Amino acid sequence: MTVYATICTRSREDVTPTTDKLLSFLAQCDIKICLISGSQSIFEAYEGAYLHINPNPEDILIFCHDDIEIHHSPEEFLNILKENLDSDEVGFIGPAGTTYLSPNAIWWDHQLWQQGKHRGRVFHYDKHGQVHNTVYGPPDDVVVLDGLFLATKPKVIEDINLQKPEYFVGDWDYYDINLTSQAFLKGYTNKAIALNILHNSRGEIAGKAGWELNRAAFIANTELPMQIFK
């Protein structure tokens, strides 16, 4: 079994200290790294990387941001991946998502958060530059996951479409909801799991043109809400 990590970055010549730290950690884990720069879209990058890797069925695939830190030992991190992807029923795993994707298709919707619909946690920097533990809810099965870190098996990728939907306008946004919702609708179980990941971003994406346009297109082409019944 081999673990592969696909990461998009702006420039190979100007890798940030955060990205350098991430790459160093992944190398310690003996994870094969596919670092992509200069791509026209994240959809194109992920699809191209997958075709290049040509993984075996037992392999694990990671798709993640370049501005995260993974706060586990290499052994612990690899065990978390293996234990949570040990079933053919599992789709994607990641640190945070929701059990209910409402008609507005915003997974982190604050009203639903207050209603206990969300799962997982992510460490963020707050507006004062301090690390804040953003707890969405307990680890559990979810409909969709945030795209800062996703892991899956090749079978799942073969069953969904990595290409950008023809109705999407933006090239870099809403890929996470598109990918993980496909897996959910195919009958896979997505899971928000206990991962210690620090996102070197406050995650403020609402209002970004590409994100808003792709969200609107997703809503227009998807039956919502999506939810887990338990």
Distance of alpha carbon 73 from alpha carbon 167, whole angstroms: 41
What's the pLDDT at 14?
74
What's the pLDDT at 35?
94
Pick the closest to residue 190 from 94, 52, 88, 87 (CA basis).
94
What's the pLDDT at 108?
95
Rg (CA), the chain: 16
What's the pLDDT at 15?
84
* pTM, two decimal places: 0.95
Range of the domain at 144: 3-227
Contact 102, 109 (CB under 8 A): yes
**If you write DSSP's letter for every residue of 66-104 in order, what string do you get?**
SSEEE-S-HHHHHHHHHHHT-STTEEEEESEEESEE-TT
Q: Is 49 strand, coil or helix?
A: helix
Measured from the Cβ of residue 111, the count of other Cβ atoms closer than 10 Å reads 10
Question: What count of Cα atoms within 13 Å lies in the side-chain half-sphere of residue 49?
Answer: 25
What's the pLDDT at 95?
98
- Residue 12's Cα: distance from chain center in Å? 22
- Residues of the chain under the 50 pLDDT cut: none
- Residue 124's Cα: distance from chain center in Å? 16
What's the pLDDT at 204?
53
Tokens of 23: 């790459």
Pick the closest to residue 108 from 138, 135, 132, 68 (CA basis).
135
What's the pLDDT at 230?
66
Tell me: the pLDDT tens digits for 182-200? 999 999 999 999 999 999 8
Tokens of 164: 């950008």
User: One-letter amino acid identity for 151?
Assistant: A
Q: Is the peptide bond before 138 cis (omega within 30 degrees of 0)?
A: no
Specify the number of domains making up the chain: 1
Distance of alpha carbon 165 from alpha carbon 47, whole angstroms: 13
CATH number of 38's domain = 3.90.550.10
Pick the closest to residue 210 from 157, 168, 162 (CA basis).
168
What's the pLDDT at 146?
97
What's the pLDDT at 59?
98
Q: Distance of CA 84 to CAs 17, 92, 141, 193, 200, Å?
A: 29, 9, 11, 8, 25
What's the pLDDT at 202?
56
Contact 94, 192 (CB under 8 A): yes
Distance of alpha carbon 170 from alpha carbon 98, whole angstroms: 23
